[in-house]
Amino acid sequence: KERVKMERLSKVYPNGTVAVQDVNVSISEGEFLCFVGPSGCGKSTIFKMITGLSSPTDGTLHVMGTSPKQARKQSDTAFVFQEHTLLPWMSIIDNVGLPLALRGASRKERRQEAERVLELVGLKDYTKSMPRQLSGGMKMRASIARALVSKPKLLLMDEPFAALDEITRQTLQRELLDIWSKDKEMTVLFITHNVFEAVFLSTRIVVMTPRPGKVAAIESVRVPFP
Ligand code: ADP
Ligand code: ADP
Protein backbone atom coordinates (compact mmCIF):
# COMPACT_ATOMS: atom_id res chain seq x y z
CA LYS A 1 0.00 0.00 0.00
CA GLU A 2 1.39 3.37 -1.01
CA ARG A 3 1.27 6.04 1.68
CA VAL A 4 3.12 8.84 -0.10
CA LYS A 5 3.83 9.08 -3.79
CA MET A 6 5.97 11.83 -5.35
CA GLU A 7 6.27 11.90 -9.12
CA ARG A 8 8.58 14.45 -10.74
CA LEU A 9 7.79 16.61 -7.75
CA SER A 10 9.21 20.12 -8.18
CA LYS A 11 9.00 23.47 -6.45
CA VAL A 12 10.25 26.74 -7.86
CA TYR A 13 9.66 29.68 -5.48
CA PRO A 14 8.32 32.94 -6.92
CA ASN A 15 11.84 34.46 -6.70
CA GLY A 16 13.13 31.74 -9.07
CA THR A 17 14.84 29.50 -6.48
CA VAL A 18 14.57 25.87 -7.56
CA ALA A 19 14.08 24.33 -4.12
CA VAL A 20 13.04 20.84 -5.28
CA GLN A 21 13.54 19.32 -8.71
CA ASP A 22 12.15 16.08 -10.17
CA VAL A 23 11.85 14.07 -6.99
CA ASN A 24 10.42 10.56 -7.48
CA VAL A 25 9.86 8.71 -4.22
CA SER A 26 7.14 6.28 -3.14
CA ILE A 27 6.71 5.33 0.47
CA SER A 28 4.89 2.11 1.38
CA GLU A 29 3.00 1.04 4.45
CA GLY A 30 5.28 0.14 7.35
CA GLU A 31 8.37 1.93 6.08
CA PHE A 32 10.48 4.26 8.17
CA LEU A 33 11.90 6.56 5.54
CA CYS A 34 14.30 9.42 6.17
CA PHE A 35 15.03 12.37 3.94
CA VAL A 36 18.56 13.46 4.74
CA GLY A 37 20.74 16.21 3.33
CA PRO A 38 22.47 19.49 4.13
CA SER A 39 20.76 22.78 4.81
CA GLY A 40 19.11 24.17 1.68
CA CYS A 41 18.59 20.84 -0.12
CA GLY A 42 14.81 21.22 -0.06
CA LYS A 43 13.83 19.07 2.93
CA SER A 44 11.49 21.65 4.48
CA THR A 45 10.03 22.47 1.10
CA ILE A 46 9.16 18.79 0.58
CA PHE A 47 7.71 18.64 4.09
CA LYS A 48 5.60 21.76 3.49
CA MET A 49 4.24 20.26 0.28
CA ILE A 50 3.40 16.94 1.97
CA THR A 51 1.61 18.77 4.78
CA GLY A 52 -0.31 20.86 2.26
CA LEU A 53 1.20 24.19 3.36
CA SER A 54 2.90 24.83 0.04
CA SER A 55 1.90 23.71 -3.44
CA PRO A 56 4.15 21.97 -5.97
CA THR A 57 4.93 23.94 -9.12
CA ASP A 58 5.30 20.73 -11.14
CA GLY A 59 4.80 17.00 -10.80
CA THR A 60 2.32 15.19 -8.58
CA LEU A 61 2.07 14.38 -4.91
CA HIS A 62 -0.33 11.97 -3.25
CA VAL A 63 -0.59 11.45 0.49
CA MET A 64 -2.69 8.54 1.83
CA GLY A 65 -4.08 8.17 -1.68
CA THR A 66 -5.40 11.72 -1.82
CA SER A 67 -4.23 15.33 -2.01
CA PRO A 68 -2.02 16.68 0.80
CA LYS A 69 -4.69 19.21 1.83
CA GLN A 70 -7.30 16.45 2.08
CA ALA A 71 -4.91 14.10 3.91
CA ARG A 72 -4.20 16.81 6.49
CA LYS A 73 -7.86 16.80 7.54
CA GLN A 74 -7.86 13.01 8.08
CA SER A 75 -7.08 11.55 11.45
CA ASP A 76 -4.85 8.85 9.94
CA THR A 77 -2.14 11.43 9.21
CA ALA A 78 -0.23 13.17 12.04
CA PHE A 79 2.63 15.67 12.25
CA VAL A 80 5.49 16.43 14.58
CA PHE A 81 7.61 19.55 14.07
CA GLN A 82 10.94 20.75 15.41
CA GLU A 83 9.21 23.01 17.92
CA HIS A 84 6.66 21.47 20.23
CA THR A 85 3.16 22.75 19.48
CA LEU A 86 1.52 22.29 22.88
CA LEU A 87 -1.02 24.88 23.96
CA PRO A 88 0.46 26.57 27.05
CA TRP A 89 -2.85 27.02 28.88
CA MET A 90 -3.84 23.35 28.71
CA SER A 91 -2.58 20.48 30.88
CA ILE A 92 -0.53 17.75 29.21
CA ILE A 93 -3.43 15.29 29.18
CA ASP A 94 -5.77 17.88 27.63
CA ASN A 95 -3.14 18.80 25.02
CA VAL A 96 -2.65 15.17 24.09
CA GLY A 97 -6.39 14.47 23.96
CA LEU A 98 -7.07 17.52 21.81
CA PRO A 99 -7.17 15.73 18.42
CA LEU A 100 -9.84 13.42 19.85
CA ALA A 101 -11.77 16.34 21.35
CA LEU A 102 -11.86 17.98 17.94
CA ARG A 103 -13.43 14.79 16.59
CA GLY A 104 -16.08 14.80 19.29
CA ALA A 105 -14.77 11.91 21.40
CA SER A 106 -16.22 11.52 24.89
CA ARG A 107 -14.32 12.73 27.96
CA LYS A 108 -13.73 9.16 29.03
CA GLU A 109 -12.32 8.09 25.66
CA ARG A 110 -10.10 11.17 25.55
CA ARG A 111 -8.67 10.44 28.96
CA GLN A 112 -8.15 6.73 28.28
CA GLU A 113 -6.45 7.27 24.96
CA ALA A 114 -4.31 10.17 26.18
CA GLU A 115 -3.16 8.06 29.13
CA ARG A 116 -2.33 5.19 26.77
CA VAL A 117 0.01 7.28 24.60
CA LEU A 118 1.47 9.25 27.52
CA GLU A 119 2.52 5.91 28.99
CA LEU A 120 4.12 4.97 25.65
CA VAL A 121 6.32 8.08 25.75
CA GLY A 122 7.11 7.78 29.46
CA LEU A 123 4.98 10.68 30.71
CA LYS A 124 2.28 8.91 32.68
CA ASP A 125 3.25 10.76 35.87
CA TYR A 126 2.88 14.16 34.20
CA THR A 127 -0.70 14.05 32.94
CA LYS A 128 -1.78 17.00 35.10
CA SER A 129 1.36 19.09 34.50
CA MET A 130 1.34 22.23 32.41
CA PRO A 131 3.68 22.44 29.39
CA ARG A 132 5.88 25.10 31.07
CA GLN A 133 6.65 22.66 33.88
CA LEU A 134 8.25 20.16 31.48
CA SER A 135 11.76 20.08 30.00
CA GLY A 136 12.34 20.38 26.25
CA GLY A 137 12.61 16.61 25.86
CA MET A 138 9.40 16.03 27.79
CA LYS A 139 7.54 18.61 25.71
CA MET A 140 8.72 16.80 22.60
CA ARG A 141 7.52 13.49 24.09
CA ALA A 142 4.12 15.08 24.72
CA SER A 143 4.00 16.36 21.13
CA ILE A 144 4.73 12.84 19.89
CA ALA A 145 2.03 11.47 22.19
CA ARG A 146 -0.46 13.93 20.73
CA ALA A 147 0.50 12.81 17.21
CA LEU A 148 0.02 9.16 18.21
CA VAL A 149 -3.29 9.58 20.02
CA SER A 150 -5.41 9.20 16.90
CA LYS A 151 -3.52 6.03 15.85
CA PRO A 152 -2.13 7.52 12.65
CA LYS A 153 -1.13 5.32 9.74
CA LEU A 154 1.26 8.03 8.55
CA LEU A 155 3.49 9.98 10.91
CA LEU A 156 5.29 12.97 9.37
CA MET A 157 8.22 14.33 11.37
CA ASP A 158 10.35 17.36 10.50
CA GLU A 159 13.60 17.43 12.53
CA PRO A 160 11.68 16.55 15.71
CA PHE A 161 14.80 16.02 17.83
CA ALA A 162 17.01 18.80 16.43
CA ALA A 163 16.55 21.10 19.42
CA LEU A 164 17.35 18.44 22.02
CA ASP A 165 20.62 17.55 23.70
CA GLU A 166 22.44 14.42 22.52
CA ILE A 167 21.39 12.13 25.39
CA THR A 168 17.72 13.07 25.18
CA ARG A 169 17.82 12.71 21.42
CA GLN A 170 19.18 9.17 21.63
CA THR A 171 16.57 8.20 24.20
CA LEU A 172 13.74 9.57 22.06
CA GLN A 173 15.12 7.90 18.91
CA ARG A 174 14.96 4.53 20.68
CA GLU A 175 11.48 5.21 21.97
CA LEU A 176 10.26 6.21 18.53
CA LEU A 177 11.72 3.04 16.97
CA ASP A 178 10.12 0.99 19.68
CA ILE A 179 6.69 2.54 19.02
CA TRP A 180 7.06 2.15 15.26
CA SER A 181 8.26 -1.47 15.42
CA LYS A 182 5.18 -2.48 17.43
CA ASP A 183 2.78 -1.18 14.78
CA LYS A 184 3.33 -2.89 11.43
CA GLU A 185 0.91 -0.53 9.69
CA MET A 186 2.56 2.69 10.78
CA THR A 187 4.58 4.54 8.16
CA VAL A 188 7.03 7.21 9.28
CA LEU A 189 8.48 9.92 7.06
CA PHE A 190 11.28 11.62 8.94
CA ILE A 191 13.27 14.68 7.88
CA THR A 192 16.75 15.30 9.26
CA HIS A 193 20.09 16.87 8.37
CA ASN A 194 21.79 14.34 10.65
CA VAL A 195 23.19 11.36 8.72
CA PHE A 196 23.71 9.32 11.89
CA GLU A 197 20.13 9.83 12.91
CA ALA A 198 18.91 8.79 9.46
CA VAL A 199 21.02 5.63 9.43
CA PHE A 200 20.01 4.68 12.95
CA LEU A 201 16.28 5.14 12.39
CA SER A 202 15.32 4.26 8.87
CA THR A 203 14.56 1.31 6.67
CA ARG A 204 15.25 3.50 3.62
CA ILE A 205 17.15 6.76 3.18
CA VAL A 206 16.65 9.41 0.52
CA VAL A 207 19.78 11.54 0.22
CA MET A 208 19.19 15.06 -1.12
CA THR A 209 21.67 17.54 -2.58
CA PRO A 210 21.14 21.32 -2.81
CA ARG A 211 21.07 23.82 -5.69
CA PRO A 212 18.74 22.54 -7.00
CA GLY A 213 17.21 20.21 -4.39
CA LYS A 214 17.49 16.80 -6.01
CA VAL A 215 17.60 13.18 -4.95
CA ALA A 216 21.23 12.04 -5.04
CA ALA A 217 20.60 8.48 -3.88
CA ILE A 218 17.96 6.22 -2.38
CA GLU A 219 19.35 3.45 -0.23
CA SER A 220 17.73 0.62 1.69
CA VAL A 221 19.10 0.20 5.16
CA ARG A 222 18.91 -2.84 7.44
CA VAL A 223 15.82 -3.10 9.55
CA PRO A 224 16.49 -0.53 12.27
CA PHE A 225 17.74 -1.49 15.65
CA PRO A 226 14.76 -2.63 17.73
P1 ADP B 1 16.23 22.61 3.86
O2 ADP B 1 14.99 22.39 4.64
O3 ADP B 1 16.81 21.33 3.33
O4 ADP B 1 17.24 23.44 4.57
P5 ADP B 1 14.57 24.38 2.21
O6 ADP B 1 13.47 23.57 1.66
O7 ADP B 1 14.29 25.24 3.38
O8 ADP B 1 15.83 23.41 2.51
O9 ADP B 1 15.18 25.33 1.07
C10 ADP B 1 15.54 24.88 -0.23
C11 ADP B 1 15.97 26.09 -1.04
O12 ADP B 1 14.85 26.93 -1.27
C13 ADP B 1 17.00 26.98 -0.35
O14 ADP B 1 17.84 27.49 -1.36
C15 ADP B 1 16.15 28.07 0.28
O16 ADP B 1 16.87 29.28 0.46
C17 ADP B 1 15.05 28.24 -0.72
N18 ADP B 1 13.75 28.67 -0.13
C19 ADP B 1 13.09 28.09 0.90
N20 ADP B 1 11.90 28.69 1.11
C21 ADP B 1 11.83 29.67 0.18
C22 ADP B 1 10.82 30.64 -0.14
N23 ADP B 1 9.68 30.69 0.54
N24 ADP B 1 11.08 31.48 -1.14
C25 ADP B 1 12.23 31.40 -1.83
N26 ADP B 1 13.21 30.52 -1.61
C27 ADP B 1 13.00 29.65 -0.62
P1 ADP C 1 2.75 28.60 -1.82
O2 ADP C 1 3.62 27.65 -2.58
O3 ADP C 1 1.69 27.92 -1.01
O4 ADP C 1 2.19 29.68 -2.68
P5 ADP C 1 5.30 29.56 -0.75
O6 ADP C 1 5.88 28.38 -0.04
O7 ADP C 1 5.80 29.87 -2.10
O8 ADP C 1 3.72 29.38 -0.76
O9 ADP C 1 5.46 30.88 0.17
C10 ADP C 1 6.31 30.97 1.28
C11 ADP C 1 6.57 32.43 1.71
O12 ADP C 1 7.96 32.61 2.19
C13 ADP C 1 6.43 33.41 0.58
O14 ADP C 1 5.61 34.44 1.01
C15 ADP C 1 7.83 33.88 0.28
O16 ADP C 1 7.81 35.23 -0.11
C17 ADP C 1 8.57 33.76 1.59
N18 ADP C 1 10.08 33.65 1.31
C19 ADP C 1 10.72 34.27 0.30
N20 ADP C 1 12.01 33.96 0.24
C21 ADP C 1 12.26 33.10 1.25
C22 ADP C 1 13.43 32.38 1.70
N23 ADP C 1 14.60 32.46 1.11
N24 ADP C 1 13.29 31.56 2.77
C25 ADP C 1 12.10 31.46 3.37
N26 ADP C 1 10.97 32.11 3.00
C27 ADP C 1 11.04 32.93 1.93
The predicted model gives 155-159 an average pLDDT of 95
* Amino acid 86: pLDDT: 96
Q: Please write the tens of the pLDDT for every residue from 60-114.
A: 999 999 999 999 988 899 999 988 889 999 999 999 999 999 989 999 999 999 9
Report how far ligand 2's centroid is from the alpha carbon of 43 (Å): 14
User: 224 pLDDT exceeds 90?
Assistant: no
Q: What is the CA radius of gyration of the chain?
A: 17
Ligand 1 atom nearest to CA at 46: 6
Query: Is residue 171 pLDDT above 70, yes or no?
Result: yes
| Mean local confidence (pLDDT), 156-174 | 91
Q: Whose CA is nearest to atom 7 of ligand 2?
A: 13
Average pLDDT over residues 198-222: 90
pLDDT-derived band at 8, boundaries 50, 70, 90 = very high
Q: Give strand pairing partners of 63.
A: 4, 66
Residues 50-60: tens digit of each pLDDT = 999 999 999 99
How far apart, in whole angstroms, are the C-alpha atoms of residue 159 and residue 187? 16
Cβ contact 77:71 at 8 Å: yes
Q: 182: CA distance to ligand 2 center in Å?
A: 38
Ligand closest to CA 44: 1
Distance 54 CA to ligand 2 centre (A): 9
CA of 135 to the centre of ligand 1 (A): 30
| Contacts of 37 by beta carbon, 8 Å cutoff, 6+ apart | 43, 193, 207, 208, 209, 210, 213, 216
Q: What number of CA atoms fall less than 13 Å from residue 42's CA on the CB side?
A: 27
Q: What is the mean pLDDT of residues 210-222?
A: 86
Q: Is the CB of 13 under 6 A from ligand 1?
A: yes
Name the closest-CA residue to atom 25, ligand 1.
13
Residue 225 scores a pLDDT above 80: no
Q: Is the CB of 16 under 6 A from ligand 1?
A: no
User: Which residues have C-beta atoms less than 6 Å from ligand 2?
Assistant: 13-15, 54-55
Query: What mean pLDDT is reported for the chain?
Result: 93
